[in-house]
Chain A
Amino acid sequence: MTTADSTTDRPRMPSRLELALAGLWAGLRELAELVWSSPTAVVGLAIVLAWVLVAIFAPFITAHSPLEQDYLTINKGPSTEHLLGTDHLGRDVWARVAYGARTILSLGPISVLVAFLLGLTLGLPAGYYRGRVDEIIMRVLDALMAFPTILLYMIIISALGASAFNVVIAIAVGGAPGIARLVRALTMDIRTREYVAAAKLRGDHDFSIMVREILPNCRGPLIVDLLLRIGYAAFYIGTLGFLGLGLPPPTPDWGGMVQEGYSRMLANVWPVLSATLAIVTLVIGLNLFADGVREESMRYQ
């Protein structure tokens, strides 16, 4: 009992978790203020949120399953039964668009996060240690960056086979070099600061310095880069789907829908038109949002 009393007497030190949550909360508020002050970002966010809502509530706002085929209603235009008509297998286009939003909105952020993990593991040590480690990592990354991204995707996916997992791998590998370069440049700048020297002096481990001192202080540019990259990822997931390198057929995927509907455009324009407009609006929404945030954050600097 006495110990409990003594803790109430002194102001309690916040735990590490509480500190982290407080930091996260402050970061989110900062981001929210940034978004709110840019009309471009607000418009972009509204478009993206609309698609996020469609993705989350897909089962409640569609009358049909995206996979249910009906051979009696093939290639029909919009009706009260099928809001956007049906495709060449009699599947409901609106249901496929709504569930397709789930596909692209989950794969996009996941692949960007994987790309960031890869980029951080390469960029932090390269910028922190410099020397030979840096030299080797940068040579390999230069080689990867000289390689046209689309070709990299094509080769990776045609080699590994088309699946959600491989799309994530391809986009992560394609994005990692750019992120690693950014992280390296930021690390090279931040490692000369006093608080890094202080951490070294008190004997912190290199790993802990990189993750606890350097990484949090790179967050501004990294968040902007992350937002931009989610737009690119959505762009490329759609493109891969269109090239026939996306998700395997029955899965509702916008790029794949465009490819399937494209050759049947003369019979029924609705499947291809809906999927094309869906991907265009989502990618533009993501771009407007990221661009607004970027411009606003540059104004602060």
Chain B
Amino acid sequence: MARYIIRRMLTMLLTMLIVSVLVFAIVEIAPGNVARNILGAYATPEQEASMANQLGLTRPVHLRYLSWLFGSDWQAAAVIGLPLRQTVTAQGLVANSIQWWAVDENGDLAQWRVEQGQLVKLVRQPDGATVRIPDERAWRTEADGQEVFWGVDTAGRAAKWVKGQGGTEYRYEYSGWIKSTDSPAEYIPISKGLFRGEAGLSLRYKAPVSEVIGRRIGNSFILAVLAILFSIPIAVSLGLIAGLNEGKLVDRVISVGGLVTAGSPDFATGILLIMVFALWLKVLPGATVLTTEDAIFRDPRLLVLPVLTASLVEIGYVLRITRASVVEVMNSAYVRTAILKGLSYRQVVVGHVLRNAMLAPITVIMLHINWFIGGLVVVESVFGYPGLGNFILNAALYKDVYAIEAGAMVLIVLAVGTQLVADIIYSLLNPRIRYA
């Protein structure tokens, strides 16, 4: 069993690797770029080029992929020639502002800046402030006679300045465009990489992906758990009723009802529910707008329609699986034996049918988690629910590659993880199955 689990885990890692390469490749060959998406339609080509350069998008794709996976601080440290260190401090409105510094010969943390052609070193003091020290001697002469310097700039990126050729940098701040000269010619954004717990920067939110995605996962989790808790008991009991009355009217009604709810696209179900409950009856809100972090708990009515929509498809599906399973068990030899030896109907159903008929639904529910996740994406989109699905959809539309990657990795862990749990539960419930 342990070997089996380890093998499955390794397969999962392999899957994640393949998928992450595929996602990177697809986003790479796709037309359009994230710099253009960040800047909007009215940016000039110079502004777009500067932004792409600052984001490191001009670097070769395989280096960017490796940076995402293993980090780029070692690449940056190699060109700078000094070890790098990360600080996490509160800065302005941002609680955990990540900064990168080079550690110089004295053990001080340093960043650099070029002011009117002069290289200036900023040394960090224990209180977080920096002290300016002119550092003109640090320029190094390259083979072609150019004087260059690789260091860490004030935005925490590895940057290469060329003496006498101040590049022009366009930054887009909340106040508008900031154009600065004396800027670096080349950038390497520094990160630790996925394997060391940094999933990269979401270019859309200008914040670490892990920070943005965390709350989204929580929101989706609430939606998913409520939908499952709501739908499974209903679905299993309806499936049981239909299966025990095979061929009768009640079975027909339940079966066709299940087909209708399972077959209707989630968005259609959601919109019909919104029409009935929000537009005509005006009893429930038709969109999930979370004004505060605990809005869901303050006003649970926000969740009713999303949960109901996600549940209906699930109810139809699980109901049909349960019914089929019950029908199969009812026709089996051991149930016939149980009836013939004089057990009451109740004893047969509770003792023989239920336990055996539950095997199939449990695995199927777990196995079709992919389908369920797909449903959640759509439900979140219908209701504007700030969950993981909506996050990934927007990331995909925006070509926010690290956000897509992070979302994809989370989904694969969820999908493969639940499949593994399903297999283990199945083997516990059914002693005939042994995994090696």
Report whether A161 and B271 are in contact in the complex, using a CB–CB cutoff of 8 Å: no
Report whether B263 and A148 are in contact in the complex, using a CB–CB cutoff of 8 Å: no
Residue A253 at the chain B interface, CB threshold 8 Å = no
Report whether B279 and A158 are in contact in the complex, using a CB–CB cutoff of 8 Å: no
Report whether B396 and A158 are in contact in the complex, using a CB–CB cutoff of 8 Å: yes
Report whether A265 and B275 are in contact in the complex, using a CB–CB cutoff of 8 Å: yes
Q: What is the minimal beta-carbon distance from A133 to any residue of chain B, in angstroms?
A: 18
Contact with A along B1-44 (1 / 0, CB 8 A): 00000000001101100110001001101110000000000000
Residue A222 at the chain B interface, CB threshold 8 Å = no
Q: Which chain A residues in 207-248 approach chain B with CB under 8 Å? A: 231, 235, 238-239, 242-244
Given contacts A158-B30, A239-B267, A276-B268, contact A146 B415 (CB under 8 A): yes
Residue B329 at the chain A interface, CB threshold 8 Å = no
Residue A187 at the chain B interface, CB threshold 8 Å = no
Give chain A residues whose Cβ lies under 8 Å from the Cβ of B266. 239
Report whether B15 and A161 are in contact in the complex, using a CB–CB cutoff of 8 Å: no
**Chain A interface size, under 10 / 10 to 19 / 20 to 34 / 35 or more:** 35 or more
Report whether B19 and A143 are in contact in the complex, using a CB–CB cutoff of 8 Å: yes
Q: What is the minimal beta-carbon distance from A231 to any residue of chain B, in angstroms?
A: 7
Report whether A291 and B259 are in contact in the complex, using a CB–CB cutoff of 8 Å: yes
Residue A280 at the chain B interface, CB threshold 8 Å = yes
Give chain A residues whose Cβ lies under 8 Å from the Cβ of B18. 140, 143
Spot the interface stretch: A21-29, A62-70, A266-274.
A266-274
Residue B264 at the chain A interface, CB threshold 8 Å = yes
Q: A284 CA to B259 CA in the complex, in Å?
A: 7
Residue A258 at the chain B interface, CB threshold 8 Å = yes
Residue from the set B264, B381, B392, B397 with the largest chain A CB neighbour count within 10 Å: B264
Report whether A276 and B26 are in contact in the complex, using a CB–CB cutoff of 8 Å: no
Give chain B residues whose Cβ lies under 8 Å from the Cβ of A258. 267-268, 271
Residue B338 at the chain A interface, CB threshold 8 Å = no
Spot the interface stretch: A51-59, A88-96, A112-120, A149-157.
A149-157
Q: Which of A147, A238, A242, A286 contacts B19 (CB 8 A)?
A: A147
Q: Which of B260, B271, B370, B415 contacts A272 (CB 8 A)?
A: B271
Q: Which residue of B lies closest to A241 (CB)?
A: B267
Give chain A residues whose Cβ lies under 8 Å from the Cβ of B396. 151, 154-155, 158
Q: A283 CA to B378 CA in the complex, in Å?
A: 17
Give chain A residues whose Cβ lies under 8 Å from the Cβ of B14. 139, 143
> Chain A interface mostly helix, strand, loop or mixed?
helix
Give chain A residues whose Cβ lies under 8 Å from the Cβ of B188. none
Report whether B408 and A244 are in contact in the complex, using a CB–CB cutoff of 8 Å: no
Residue from the set B26, B374, B399 with the largest chain A CB neighbour count within 10 Å: B374
Residue A204 at the chain B interface, CB threshold 8 Å = no
Q: A27 CA to B393 CA in the complex, in Å?
A: 43
Q: What is the minimal beta-carbon distance from A171 to any residue of chain B, in angstroms?
A: 13
Q: What is the minimal beta-carbon distance from B390 to any residue of chain A, in angstroms?
A: 10
Residue A142 at the chain B interface, CB threshold 8 Å = yes
Give chain B residues whose Cβ lies under 8 Å from the Cβ of A86. none
Residue A159 at the chain B interface, CB threshold 8 Å = yes
Report whether A235 and B393 are in contact in the complex, using a CB–CB cutoff of 8 Å: no
Report whether A279 and B268 are in contact in the complex, using a CB–CB cutoff of 8 Å: yes
Report whether A148 and B30 are in contact in the complex, using a CB–CB cutoff of 8 Å: no
Residue A40 at the chain B interface, CB threshold 8 Å = yes
Q: What is the minimal beta-carbon distance from B415 to any residue of chain A, in angstroms?
A: 5
Q: Which chain A residues in 128-171 approach chain B with CB under 8 Å? A: 139-140, 142-143, 145-151, 154-156, 158-161
Q: Which chain B residues in 340-375 approach chain A with CB under 8 Å? A: 370-371, 373-374
Report whether B408 and A151 are in contact in the complex, using a CB–CB cutoff of 8 Å: yes
Report whether B259 and A288 are in contact in the complex, using a CB–CB cutoff of 8 Å: yes
Given contacts A283-B264, A284-B260, contact A244 B397 (CB under 8 A): yes
Q: What is the minimal beta-carbon distance from A136 to any residue of chain B, in angstroms?
A: 12
Given contacts A146-B416, A154-B396, A272-B271, contact A159 B27 (CB under 8 A): yes
Report whether B374 and A243 are in contact in the complex, using a CB–CB cutoff of 8 Å: no
Residue B218 at the chain A interface, CB threshold 8 Å = no
Q: A269 CA to B271 CA in the complex, in Å?
A: 11
Q: A287 CA to B416 CA in the complex, in Å?
A: 28
Residue B151 at the chain A interface, CB threshold 8 Å = no
Give chain B residues whose Cβ lies under 8 Å from the Cβ of A36. none
Q: A160 CA to B30 CA in the complex, in Å?
A: 6
Give chain B residues whose Cβ lies under 8 Å from the Cβ of A287. 259, 262-263
Report whether A151 and B26 are in contact in the complex, using a CB–CB cutoff of 8 Å: no
Q: A286 CA to B373 CA in the complex, in Å?
A: 23
Q: A231 CA to B263 CA in the complex, in Å?
A: 8
Given contacts A143-B14, A158-B396, A283-B265, contact A148 B373 (CB under 8 A): yes
Q: A262 CA to B378 CA in the complex, in Å?
A: 14
Give chain A residues whose Cβ lies under 8 Å from the Cβ of B399. 158
Report whether B15 and A142 are in contact in the complex, using a CB–CB cutoff of 8 Å: yes
Residue from the set A140, A142, A151 with the largest chain B CB neighbour count within 10 Å: A151
Give chain B residues whose Cβ lies under 8 Å from the Cβ of A273. 275
Q: Which of A243, A288, A291 contacts B393 (CB 8 A)?
A: A243
Given contacts A40-B256, A158-B396, contact A266 B267 (CB under 8 A): no
Residue B236 at the chain A interface, CB threshold 8 Å = no
Report whether B265 and A235 are in contact in the complex, using a CB–CB cutoff of 8 Å: yes
Give chain A residues whose Cβ lies under 8 Å from the Cβ of B26. 155-156, 159
Q: Which chain B residues in 249-270 approach chain A with CB under 8 Å? A: 256, 259-260, 262-268
Given contacts A143-B14, A265-B279, contact A154 B263 (CB under 8 A): no
Q: A150 CA to B259 CA in the complex, in Å?
A: 21
Q: Which residue of A lies closest to B389 (CB)?
A: A150
Given contacts A155-B26, A159-B29, contact A238 B407 (CB under 8 A): no
Give chain A residues whose Cβ lies under 8 Å from the Cβ of B415. 146-148
Q: A255 CA to B265 CA in the complex, in Å?
A: 10
Q: What is the minimal beta-carbon distance from B371 to any residue of chain A, in angstroms?
A: 7
Q: Which of B260, B271, B374, B404 contacts A149 (CB 8 A)?
A: B374
A-B contacts besides A239-B267, A276-B268, 7 pairs, CB < 8 Å: A150-B374, A151-B407, A158-B399, A242-B267, A242-B382, A243-B267, A283-B265
**Which 8 residue pairs are nearest across A and B when measured between Cβ atoms?**
A150-B374, A159-B30, A287-B263, A158-B396, A242-B267, A143-B15, A159-B26, A154-B396
Query: Can you spell out 30 A-B residue pairs with CB atoms less than 8 angstroms apart?
Result: A143-B15, A146-B19, A146-B370, A146-B415, A147-B408, A147-B411, A147-B415, A148-B370, A148-B415, A150-B377, A151-B377, A151-B396, A154-B392, A155-B27, A155-B404, A161-B31, A235-B263, A235-B265, A238-B268, A242-B381, A243-B381, A258-B271, A262-B271, A273-B275, A276-B268, A276-B271, A279-B265, A284-B259, A284-B263, A288-B256
